[in-house]
Structure 1
Amino acid sequence: MSKLTIGLDVPWVASWSTETVTGVGPCPSVDGVLAVGQSEHPGRGEPLYSRNHLFRQRKSVREMRCPMCGEPTRENDRWTQTARWTTAGELRAKGAGPWLPPDMDDDKPLLDAGAVAPMHLTCAERARAECPHLQAMEDHELKAFPGAWIVAALSVEARPGHAVSNVPQRPVAAVTFLQLIGVPDHIPS
């Protein structure tokens, strides 16, 4: 076991070197839909800071859990440094159109958090001060996360591992990560 503390030294959502991909199967993090799985051994091996654990990432987005400490966030305590302002039209152009309401105007401002759920303010401030990746970012501003959001499933094409010679094998979509898109009720300044 590592001497590093999850939630302080290592983000709760980070993968560890012993947490290997296990294949594709129904996953409770996405209501039983097929998803890519990963073994659960947080604290064993070396932390892989730049790699989110597949299940914990999906859980953090679905349950609005802080990716740093793993605890649920409250509506008035959700902050992000990594999210970027964009528009519905820009997200549609990047392929996220199926997840956006069809009647949403292309010029609607949205806060694209990517695969990173918002953090508690105290966790976000600590991460910003201690994480080399966040320190290297041009934008150091912590942005309040909107009270409404859209979750988009990011998927890969998966093929069965053991094909039967006379049975056609069809690829299936398997969820990897969830993308989080904040929908503000006012235009950002």
Structure 2
Amino acid sequence: MRFLDEGLSDRDESGVLWTRVESRPGVGEPLFGQLHSMRQRRAMRRLLCQVCGGESHRDDRGVLWLTRDYRGDWTGWPAGMATEDPPVCLPCARMAARLCPSLRQGHVFVRSRTHPLVGVRGVQYRPGGGRLEVVGEVTSTFDDPTVRWTVAHQVVRELLDCVIVGTGDDPL
């Protein structure tokens, strides 16, 4: 799959096709839960704070992540969790924990020492009837053959070697 006028910036180093988004830094209002695709990709690849774009917080326990609380979903969570949410710095973690609507249902601060890039989230297509048909929103790993039929909009990391470090407004 490709864009008819595809350029060098449309694919990443893994060959994944990326959705095209307008880049206008400093214009508009931040929307929680709707991180700009190019900004998300940069933050995930460089482990930058998802809110301010600065360095995420790191200590001997690992990089700081703020996520919804899914401890009831499986034993050992969050180890092995896939996330599209980039890490955070301390000041932004505290602010987001208070202000982000999706975190009001419960959140945790997690430290991860190992967090490999494992895939992408995007819209997957399949050939059908002489044109492309939308399969839907999917998460594809880099080694999944269907990733070549996906137009990505988010990078996915897997959190490993994790520890929950807080559940309130303070990640320390």
Same fold (TM over 0.5): yes
1:114 Cα offset (Å) = 2.1
1:148 aligns with 2:114: yes
Q: Hey, what's the Cα distance between the residues in 2 that align with 1:71 and 1:185?
A: 22
User: CA-atom RMSD, angstroms?
Assistant: 3.9
Contact between 1:64 and 1:118, CA under 8 Å: does it hold in 2?
Answer: yes
1:157 aligns with 2:120: no
Q: Hey, what's the Cα distance between the residues in 2 that align with 1:67 and 1:40?
A: 16
Partner of 2:87: 118
Partner of 1:65: 48
**Unmatched tracts of structure 2, length 5 or more:** 134-148, 166-172
- Report SS of the residue matched to 1:124: helix
Partner of 1:136: 104
Partner of 1:48: 31
Identity of aligned residues (%): 21
User: Which structure is higher in strand share?
Assistant: 2
1:46 Cα offset (Å) = 3.9
Radius of gyration: which is bigger?
1
Runs of 4+ in 1 over 6 A off after TM superposition: 185-188
Q: In the alignment, residue 105 of structure 2 is paired with which amino acid?
A: M
- Report SS of the residue matched to 1:116: coil
- CA spacing shift, 1:117–1:47, aligned 2, 3 Å: closer
Partner of 2:158: 181
Q: In the alignment, residue 12 of structure 2 is paired with which amino acid?
A: V
- Report SS of the residue matched to 1:45: coil
Q: In the alignment, residue 26 of structure 2 is paired with which amino acid?
A: G
Q: Hey, what's the Cα distance between the residues in 1 that align with 2:44 and 2:122?
A: 15
- Report SS of the residue matched to 2:32: strand
1:122 Cα offset (Å) = 2.4
How many equivalent pairs are there? 140
1:111 Cα offset (Å) = 4.9
- Report SS of the residue matched to 2:88: coil
Task: Choose 169-178 or 116-125, whichever is displaced more.
Answer: 169-178
Partner of 2:144: none
**Unmatched tracts of structure 1, length 5 or more:** 1-22, 91-106, 160-167
Q: Hey, what's the Cα distance between the residues in 1 that align with 2:113 and 2:152?
A: 25
Partner of 2:12: 30
